[in-house]
């Protein structure tokens, strides 16, 4: 526990300078294009990007940094709240994964209809990087998605203790929801029926490009290697291979880490990718 607190503090110190610089632009970007259903994708970036938050999260908090970061690079960016359970405000991503996947399907259809695009790209954090795989595999919508980028995704599950760690460390008010009002928590336990169904017959579906970005310091989806996918169209990345001094753990890799975001943008447009290094935190 003490080691985890030290890592959290060091990570916060590492990222404070970029966050100060981002504070004003983030508000401006949000008011000038994120979730703007009049946005028309450019020839350079023809696919809208749909951002999918994690368990206990919501779109505005999870993507406070990520949404403007991606939008500033010329993409139409959309973010949804999903997985609401009746009578529980603020905390999202609680509903059964299959139910949330249907919400994602409906939202992608809404984005495609508004923008006129034929495909989207998806960037998801934690459950938000895993749940779209259910959408792709079982809802018949794989042709609508070009690329799925998962930041610390729960692809092969974790254990209940680690989900409790997520709630206790970051969402203490949500701790009591585990086991009572968080079906997705049960779905994400290693070996659950959902996990067995999702990963039976292979991790991927044809035609979709997959990128998984993980961190050595993940204390929620463990071991971190369980996040990786297997398949011909998969690129698994360890954050510390890009920047050895990056100490981001499970939450920070998906909410504030600009090194991870830089690599996510590279995955969206590999033909214009630029090297991701520690200096990417200040780009």
pTM: 0.89
Q: 243 lies in a domain? A: yes
Strand 234-238 relative to strand 49-52, pairing:
unpaired
Q: 74 lies in a domain? A: yes
Q: 55 lies in a domain? A: yes
Asked whether 143 and 207 are in contact (CB, 8 A), the reply is: yes
Asked whether 100 and 128 are in contact (CB, 8 A), the reply is: no
Q: Which of 5-9, 50-54, 86-90, 148-152 has the lowest mean pLDDT?
A: 5-9
At 113-165, the pLDDT tens digits run 999 999 999 999 999 999 999 999 999 999 999 999 999 999 999 998 999 99
- Counted residue by residue, the chain has a size of 283
Q: 221 lies in a domain? A: yes
CATH code of the domain in which 53 resides = 3.40.50.1820
Q: 34 lies in a domain? A: no
Q: 39 lies in a domain? A: no
Q: What is the pLDDT of residue 82?
A: 98
Q: 72 lies in a domain? A: yes
- Is residue 74 very low, low, confident or very high in pLDDT (cuts 50, 70, 90)? very high
At 245-274, the pLDDT tens digits run 999 999 999 999 999 999 999 999 999 999
Residue 15 has pLDDT above 60, yes or no: no
Share in percent of the chain as helix, strand, coil (round to 5):
50, 10, 40
The number of domains in the chain is 1
Q: 36 lies in a domain? A: no
Pull the structure tokens for residue 143. Answer: 């042709």
Q: Which domain holds residue 71?
A: 2-26+45-282
């Amino acid at each position: 526990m003490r080691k985890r607190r030290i890592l959290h503090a060091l990570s916060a110190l590492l990222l404070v300078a970029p966050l100060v610089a981002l504070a004003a632009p983030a508000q401006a970007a949000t008011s000038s294009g994120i979730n703007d259903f009049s946005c028309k994708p450019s020839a350079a970036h023809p696919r809208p990007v749909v951002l999918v938050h994690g368990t206990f999260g919501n779109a505005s908090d999870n993507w406070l940094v990520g949404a403007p970061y991606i939008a500033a690079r010329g993409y139409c960016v959309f973010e949804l709240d999903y997985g609401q359970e009746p009578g529980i405000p603020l905390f999202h991503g609680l509903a059964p994964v299959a139910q949330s996947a249907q919400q994602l399907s409906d939202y992608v259809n809404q984005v495609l209809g508004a923008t006129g695009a034929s495909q989207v790209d998806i960037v998801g954090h934690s459950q938000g990087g895993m749940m779209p795989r259910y959408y792709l595999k079982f809802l018949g919508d794989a042709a609508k998605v070009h690329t799925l980028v998962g930041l610390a995704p729960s692809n092969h599950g974790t254990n209940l203790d680690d989900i409790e760690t997520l709630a206790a460390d970051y969402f203490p008010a949500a701790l009591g929801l585990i086991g009572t009002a968080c079906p997705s928590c049960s779905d994400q336990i290693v070996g659950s029926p959902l996990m067995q169904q999702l990963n039976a017959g292979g991790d991927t579906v044809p035609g979709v490009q997959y990128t998984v970005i993980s961190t050595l310091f993940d204390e929620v989806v463990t071991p971190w290697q369980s996040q990786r996918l297997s398949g011909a169209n998969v690129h698994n990345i360890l954050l510390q291979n890009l920047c050895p001094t990056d100490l981001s753990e499970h939450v920070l890799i998906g909410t504030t880490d600009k090194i991870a975001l830089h690599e996510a943008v590279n995955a969206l447009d590999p033909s214009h990718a630029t090297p991701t290094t520690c200096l990417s935190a200040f780009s």
